[in-house]
Amino acid sequence: MKPRNQTTVSEFLLLELTENPAVQLLLFSLFLSMYLVTVLGNLLIILAIRSDPNLHTPMYFFLSNLPVTDICMSTSTIPKMLVNIQAQNRSISYTGCLSQVFFLMAFLVLENCLLTAMAYDCYVAICHPLMYPIIMNPSFCVLLVLISLFINGVNSLLHALMVLKLSFCTDLEIPDFFCELSQVIKSACSDTFINNILIYFSSVILGGSALFVIIFSYSLIVCSLLRLPSDGRKYKVFSTCGSHLLVVFLFYGTAFGVYISSAITVSSWKTAVVSMMYTVVPQM
């Protein structure tokens, strides 16, 4: 295929959900409902935490930042999908596609960092309860969030700038419901070696280190849990960490599912469905 410079690219074509009008209406209703549940549910979490002084603790400070990230992540993909279904149009502008790549990467990395910070918070609360107010002081919590914002900003900007350097072919169809970074890179005609290396490097450094901290924190929590004499205390510990652990399993489980699915299946539709699970379900 004949390549053309990225400055002449006007739009990409996303994966078509279906040509059946009845199924289109069903999918529109489904995604709209999921989006509304995500936004309203997370707004209620933020409102509940802000309105109750008893919840102004480090744990709920991180928890109040997580819904904001979830809302922003869902907003970066689902509204455009709803517009395309309603208009029966698969196109997305070049600028819109790069914006999706940037914001989706930014909020994914931010959620990754927040989940890691929450795991560390659980570890300190359970394993070092007497030192908890000193270690998890407000300044330290704010610093963790600011560091997370800085890391995800630099990482997302770097990926977006590397995509800007690519040249794309005349066939600009992306086999996904939204502009996912790896799928956009696959549609390029120029050399993508540096882009792929950057993806693997950031995945190992950011994702791998975060997952290591979470696993290590929960290993220490389990060891501490086994030493507790009372079943009531064990239940309290589980109720404290259970919801966070569930979100971690959903987030990383679906994320691994995306890459495993893309590696073992040639079906774009199946890969796209798994991608949707990765970017929508944990947030909901």
Q: Compute CA distances 269 → 15, 58, 83, 101, 273, whole Å.
A: 8, 41, 19, 19, 6
Average pLDDT, stretch 82-96? 85
User: What residues contact 59, with CB distance under 8 A and at least 6 apart?
Assistant: 118, 121, 122, 125, 240
Q: Which two tokens stand for residue 164?
A: 């800007």
In this predicted structure, the answer to whether residue 254 has a pLDDT above a threshold of 50 is: yes
CA–CA distance, 242 with 222 (Å, rounded to integer):
12
Give tens-digit pLDDT for 178-204.
888 888 888 888 888 899 899 888 888
pLDDT at residue 71, as a whole number: 92
The reported pLDDT for the residue numbered 36 is: 94
pLDDT at residue number 140: 92
* Mean predicted confidence (pLDDT) in 227-250: 72
CA distance between the termini of the chain: 41
Domains and CATH numbers, the chain: 3-279 (1.20.1070.10)
Mean pLDDT, the chain, rounded, equals 82
In angstroms, rounded to a whole number, what is the distance separating the alpha carbons of residues 23 and 56?
45
Confidence of residue 232 (pLDDT cuts 50, 70, 90): low
